[in-house]
């Protein structure tokens, strides 16, 4: 029972970590695009 519960927590943490890292990659990508656009205007 407890082992099964821990596995569920590990899966939730893994899913949270993947979602977080994807979000950080997306933010990083958008920021780079905006910086390139601003550099192109000058």
So what's the pLDDT on residue 5? 87
Tokens of 16: 């949270």
Could you read off the pLDDT of 5-28 as tens digits, one per residue? 899 999 999 999 999 999 999 999
At 8, list the tokens.
């569920």
Range 21-38 average pLDDT: 94
Residue 1 is predicted with a pLDDT of 59
Tokens of 13: 């943490």
Residues present in the chain in total: 42
- pLDDT category at 35 given cuts 50, 70, 90 is very high
Per-domain residue ranges of the chain: 1-42
Report if pTM > 0.75.
Answer: no
Distance CA 42, CA 19 (A): 35
């Amino acid at each position: 029972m407890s082992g099964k519960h821990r596995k569920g927590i590990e899966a939730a943490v893994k899913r949270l970590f993947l979602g977080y890292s994807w979000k950080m990659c997306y933010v990083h990508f958008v920021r780079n695009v905006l910086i390139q656009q601003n550099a192109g205007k000058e």
